[in-house]
Amino acid sequence: MTDAARQTALCSRVRTELAQRGVPERYWACGHYDDDRCCLLLDGHMWRLVHAERSVFDVYRETYDDEVAFHSFIDWVSSVYA
């Protein structure tokens, strides 16, 4: 599977899970940076969970594992939204 396909697949899962939890998309972004949001993106082969604010990126977590990235991002965004 290509990196683009991995990112598309994981972002689809993220979107579905966060929608089920009632978390609005204004709190997060997947596959791209968006200011003042929790962001998940694939950089090379590594997933990066970052918070972007005024083009300054604070790294929350980095992992090569798709499942770790998925669950970590869901938990993080859910805790920020709560």
Q: Which residue has the higher pLDDT, 55 or 9?
A: 9
Token pair belonging to 44:
């090379």
At 50-77, the pLDDT tens digits run 997 887 889 999 999 999 999 999 999 9
Per the CB < 8 A criterion, the answer to whether 36 and 26 are in contact is no
Rg for the chain (alpha carbons), in Å?
A: 12
Range list of β-strands (E), the chain: 28-30, 37-43, 46-53, 56-63
For the chain, domain boundaries: 3-81
**Cα–Cα distance measured from residue 18 to residue 23, given in angstroms and rounded to the nearest whole number:** 5
Which among 9, 31, 13 has a CA at the least distance from the CA of 21? 13
- pLDDT tens-digit readout, 25-53: 999 999 998 889 999 999 999 999 999 78
- Taking the model in full, what pTM does it have? 0.93
